[in-house]
Amino acid sequence: MKKKIKPVGTPPRGWHMKKEFIDEEGNVFEKGKFVYNTNDPIDEKDWEEFAGTNLGLIEEPVVEEPIEEEPVVEEPVELSDEEKETLKKVNLIKSKLSELYLIKEQKKSDWDYGRTWDEYLNLTVNEDKEIYQLDKELRIIRPYKTQDIPDYGTVMTLNEFKNSVKNGGFVDSDGSGNYIETDADGNMKMTDVPIYPSDVKEKSLRYKLNKIVWFNK
């Protein structure tokens, strides 16, 4: 039986309802369900699989008939220089996140409980800010998985979402969204990459995915 992973530390109230929550050890949860750990490296095999399923670089397998015919053997996908550079950047970000989480744990371990509560609250503020920025950068470039779009979400273009945020229609406390992947035939799938209104203000957007689905809290 697969071991259930729970958040490390004291998660905020309502963490299990958030679209994405990252605990102190880099475990990523979506709606309370563990998805992956930011410290796990992505190797070229994983990237090739992502490139094939999400970027359309691998053709659909050929179904051979009659059965006695030899199956078509597809050539392995070779990563482009751009994809290799992106893969390298993803792993560098994950490595840095791992270092930051270790620093936070060490600071808490060395904490002098004779100091004030305000000092404790500011103990890892610098690391938290850097983790926040790195997580945003990772969301823009990391490989993603797709699933059917829930019928309770509101689908809109990225431009419509941006304009609504600029006009005060959405703020982070209202909810969050997920990017949508659209294939050549117009079929849409929801990705596991979240998007927040603050991403618009900070110009941290994944422009190649030009639609989103929004979920109110």
Higher-confidence residue of 72 and 180: namely 180
Q: Assign 161 to helix, strand or coil.
A: helix
Enter the pTM of the model: 0.58
Final residue before a domain boundary, out of 143, 160, 190: 143
* Phi, psi angle pair for 191, to nearest 5°: -90, 170
pLDDT at position 5, please? 75
Domain hosting residue 85, numbered range: 38-143
pLDDT digits (tens, 9 = 90+) for 124-142: 888 888 998 998 888 888 8
pLDDT digits (tens, 9 = 90+) for 73-95: 566 667 788 888 888 888 999 89
pLDDT at position 42, please? 58
Q: What average pLDDT does range 2-27 have in this prediction?
A: 73
Mean pLDDT of the chain: 81
With b for 16 or more beta-carbon neighbours within 10 A and e for fewer, the 131-150 pattern comes to beebbeebbeebbbebeeee
Final residue before a domain boundary, out of 100, 115, 143: 143
Is 210 part of a structural domain of the chain?
yes
Final residue before a domain boundary, out of 108, 143, 178: 143
Q: How many independent structural domains does the chain possess?
A: 2
Residues 156 and 125 in one domain: no
Is 3 part of a structural domain of the chain?
no
pLDDT digits (tens, 9 = 90+) for 96-124: 889 988 998 888 888 887 888 788 778 88
Contact 211, 180 (CB under 8 A): yes
